Amino acid sequence: MLSLANVDSFYGRSQALHAMTISAPRGAVLGILGRNGVGKTTLLRTILGLTDRSEGVIALGGTPIEAFPTHERARAGIAYVPQGRMIIPDFTIRENILMGGFAATGARRIPDIVPELFPYLMDNLDRPGGVLSGGQQQQLAIARALACKPKVLLMDEPTEGIQPNIVAQIEDIIIRLNTELGLTILLVEQNVAFVRRAAKAFAMIEHGTAVESGPIDTLTDAMVHKHMAI
């Protein structure tokens, strides 16, 4: 569904990705692993065209999109749940969700699955997003991304900073988005146990490139220790 071949990416003169080559299987979760600061967020931002420039091939469903501006990549079917959630605090829950659909497709409706996944949001549509807890804001960020009607969902550490009693709910929702909606998901996550439970394949990132990749059952404890231990 989504592939990168020999992609370099830059912030100004600083090169952040080096010959990045990965492939996300259609309708599966690809776990993106690695220590902090190795290029995982930059990988997602590069897919969206949010770095200063990139080189190499980025393909969605076999169609090269590396020349597309960001809004055209969104309209082609890529949605993003960023690290830190980045909801607009003064917008209501309703406005935050609708903004996602308007940005990608021009649609102004809440996706049918949102009430099922996030009943709290539906019961509080007129509350400002800024008053929500971290877990509720993460739910809102996911609902906003779903309003884009994506084919591919990029998720950057979706369980980071979430209260422990909500983490399992977020994890289960991500798995449902994959299994029930058939979404292809690139999941940047430090929780290796969750990645092993949710993902079909993985890519281990080090110094801006993929140093290990393959089916999730080939992710060994030795790999995790080598590339993720502090």
CA dihedral 116, 118, 84, 213 (to 10 degrees): -30
pLDDT band at 166 (very low <50, low <70, confident <90, very high): confident
Residue type, 168: A
pTM of the predicted structure, to 2 decimals = 0.93
pLDDT at 4 over 80: yes
Q: What is the pLDDT of residues 18-66, one digit of tens each?
A: 999 999 999 999 999 999 999 999 999 999 999 999 999 999 999 999 9
Q: What is the pLDDT of residues 109-165, one digit of tens each?
A: 888 899 999 999 999 999 999 999 999 999 999 999 999 889 999 999 998 888 888
Structure tokens at 140: 């809102």
Phi first, then psi, for residue 5 (nearest 5°) are -130, 115
In CATH, what number does 2-88+152-228 get? 3.40.50.300
